Amino acid sequence: MEIGQSVLQVLILTKNEEPNIKRVLDKLTWAEKVVILDSGSTDETLAIVNHYTNTEVVYRPFDSFAQQCNYGLSLLNSKWVLSLDADYVLTDDFITETKQILSLTGDTNVGYYTKFEFLVFGRQLLSNNTTPRAVLFKHDAGSYFDDGHAHRLKIEGPTGNYKAKILHDDRKSLSRWLANQDGYSVKETHKLLHNNGEKLSFSARIRRNKVVAPFFVFFYSLFVKGLIFNGWAGWHYTLQRTMVEMLMAIRLIEEEKLK
C-alpha cells in the first residue's frame, strides 16, 4: 500500500437525492471518506451531505454514468473502493462483512459482488428482478464502461460474493422515476437496434419481440417471483417493471417504423 493511502473510500453519484441520501450516509459514518460526485443538485441533497464530517463533495457535469464513475475513481486514494448508488442502504451485516473482507490477509479476490433486497414504501419485497452487482473492488482493478442506459464495472482479476445484501430503497417521486425511464428507454432502444453483431441476451431477444416482454415481466414478477404476496408494494414493483417494458416496446416500434 502506498504511503498515505487509506484502506477504503466510498464513491456515490448524486443529483437531487434529497429523499434518499440521509439514510445512505447514516450507514457510512464508519467510512474514512465518502466522495459525493454531484452533477447539479438543486434540492437539499448537498445541504444534507454537509452535515457529515467524512464527506467530500465534488461537482462534475453529467455526460454518462461510466465517465462519471471513472472520474470519481480518480478522486479516490484508497486500496479498496465501495461504489454505491444514492439509494443503496447498507445493512449491519453488510458493514460487518465488508470490514472482515478488508482485514483478510492472503485474499486473492480483487472484487466482491452483492445481491439486493428491494424495498417499496419501506416494505421489503419477497423477491426482485435485479442481478448481483460488484460494489467492492480494489482501486487498481476496476473501471467502468457504458452499456445502454446502464454502466458496468470491469474487474481485472478473481472475484468473490457477499453473503449479506444491500437494501435498494429509492423514495424519489413517481414523476422523477418516469422521467428517468424515458431517458433510459432511448439508450436501451439504441443498444438493441445497434448491437454491432453481438449475440443478444435472452432478455434482449424478448425485448426485440416487443409484444412478449411486457406480458412476460408482469407474470414473472407477480407469480414466479411471488410478489403478489407482497400486497400493494408487490403490485407497485410489478407495474413499474411492466411499464418499463411497455415503454421499450413503444420506442422499438417507433424507431423501426421511422427507418
Q: Where are the domains positioned within the chain? A: 6-168, 174-257
What confidence tens digit (pLDDT) does each residue in 10-49 have?
Answer: 999 999 999 999 999 999 999 999 999 999 999 999 999 9
Asked if residues 31 and 9 have their Cβ atoms less than 8 Å apart, the reply is yes
State how far the Cα of 182 lies from the Cα of 90, in Å rounded to an integer.
29
| Residue from 23, 132, 128, 133 nearest 69 by CA | 133
What confidence tens digit (pLDDT) does each residue in 175-229 have?
Answer: 999 998 988 888 888 888 887 656 777 888 888 888 999 999 999 999 999 999 9
Phi/psi class of residue 8: alpha, beta or left (left: φ > 0; alpha: ψ in -120 to 50)? beta
The owner of cell 414466479 is 224
Burial string for 83-110 (b: 16+ CB within 10 Å, else e) reads: bbbbbbbbeeebeebbeebeeeeeeebb
Residue 208, pLDDT score: 86
What confidence tens digit (pLDDT) does each residue in 111-170 have?
Answer: 999 999 999 999 999 999 899 999 999 999 999 998 776 789 999 999 999 999 999 999
Residue 189, pLDDT score: 86
Residue 3, pLDDT score: 45
State how far the Cα of 158 lies from the Cα of 104, in Å rounded to an integer.
15
Average pLDDT on 79-102 reads 98
The alpha helices in 14-148, defined as continuous H runs, are: 21-26, 45-49, 65-74, 92-103
Asked if residues 135 and 41 have their Cβ atoms less than 8 Å apart, the reply is no
Burial of 224 (0-12, 13-18, 19+ CB in 10 A): exposed
State how far the Cα of 153 lies from the Cα of 198, in Å rounded to an integer.
19
CATH topology of domain 6-168: Spore Coat Polysaccharide Biosynthesis Protein SpsA; Chain A (3.90.550)
Q: What global pTM score does this model have?
A: 0.91
Average pLDDT on 53-64 reads 97
Asked if residues 61 and 41 have their Cβ atoms less than 8 Å apart, the reply is no
